[in-house]
Amino acid sequence: MKNIKIKEATIPALGFGTFQLADATAYTVVKAALSEGYRHIDTAQMYKNEESVGRAIREADVPRDQVFLTTKVLPANLGAKTFMPSVTESLQKLQTDAVDLLLIHWPNAEVPVEEYMEELMKAQQKGYTRYIGVSNHPTALLDKVLATGAGIITNQVEYHPFLNQDKLYTYLQDHNLTLTAYSPVAQGKVLGNPVLKSIADKYNKNEIQVTLRWLMQQDNVLAIPRSANEAHIRSNFSIFDFELTPEEMQQINQLKQANTRLINPSFAPAWD
């Protein structure tokens, strides 16, 4: 297992995502992920599964303080009136006094960056979260976030071998921030890619494992793959027993292209 240290935080680099996992499934698979060794779980108000995620963590054989738990505030809740009540509701559902990381899920064109960042900082001061961060923020918005003086630790964005995020990655590195890779295995689309397949064959691994390993070998990158399949949950965690060569890292870097986003809703900001 790899941990990333950023500011005062120590975060397991390989986490577990819960997007599109309905209640019953989320409960079962989060429990499975924890017993497999995952110690970093990602949910969101938007996923409507905080209750099951919370119950799974509470009932697992792992103490709460050994799990790095992230949730995210829904864009509709970013205004000063709704922000804090939504956070306390999340904590109730998650059955915890505080999460480890609270993120702004998406910017909201109707709410100024300064307004939601002030609420996010207040949530941290109140002890509702240990660390704060953002998600889906391009560099222009990150400039505004950092201008508020907020001590964020990450920007969670789409990041996988098929999407060029070089500009954003460099910005984050320059500002000592982590990149949390969502849709890290391109929602399964890395399977069948010939470059990834030939590298995978060499190590007796699959394309998903090679992709996750490529992410783990980059500085300050975390990844939160999702799976509802226990065999996949296990194999996705089995990536710490081999190492890609610099040449193989380069071969995978060359798969990157512009305009290949899988997640691009109508309310998305202007991307880099």
Ligand X SMILES: NC(=O)c1ccc[n+]([C@@H]2O[C@H](COP(=O)([O-])OP(=O)(O)OC[C@H]3O[C@@H](n4cnc5c(N)ncnc54)[C@H](OP(=O)(O)O)[C@@H]3O)[C@@H](O)[C@H]2O)c1
Which C-beta is closer to ligand X: that of 19 or that of 112? 19
- Nearest approach, Cβ of residue 230 and ligand X (Å): 9
Whichever of 126 and 140 has its CB closer to ligand X, that residue is 140
Q: Could you confirm whether 169 is annotated as catalytic?
A: no
Closest by Cα among 141, 146, 152, 251 to 199: 251
**Residues at the site binding ligand X, with contacts judged by CB under 6 A:** 17-19, 42, 105, 135-136, 156, 182-188, 191, 208, 224-229, 232, 235-236, 263
Q: Write the burial class of residue 42 (CB in 10 Å: 0-12 exposed, 13-18 middle, 19+ buried).
A: buried
Q: Read off the amino acid at residue 166.
A: D
- Residue closer to ligand X, measured from CB, 12 or 184: 184
| Nearest distance, CB of residue 202 and ligand X, angstroms | 18
Residue among 33 and 208 whose Cβ is closer to ligand X: 208
Token pair of 231 as six digits:
């065999």
Tell me the two tokens of residue 83.
């922000």
Distance CA(94)–CA(58), nearest Å, equals 9
CA–CA distance, 174 with 242 (Å, rounded to integer): 29
Q: Tell me the residue number closest to ligand X, measured at CB.
A: 17
Run of H or E including 70: strand 68-73
Closer of 122 and 232 to ligand X (Cβ): 232
Residue 242 Cβ, how far from ligand X at the closest point, in Å?
Answer: 15
Which residue in 38, 47, 171, 182 is the catalytic one? 47
Q: How far is the CB of 44 from ligand X (least distance, A)?
A: 7
DSSP 8-state symbol, 149: T
Minimum separation from the CB atom of position 77 to ligand X (A): 15
Smallest gap from Cβ 63 to ligand X, in A, equals 22
Q: Of the two residues 73 and 117, which places its CB atom closer to ligand X in the complex?
A: 73
What is the rounded CA–CA span in Å between residue 105 and residue 74? 6
Residues forming the active site: 47
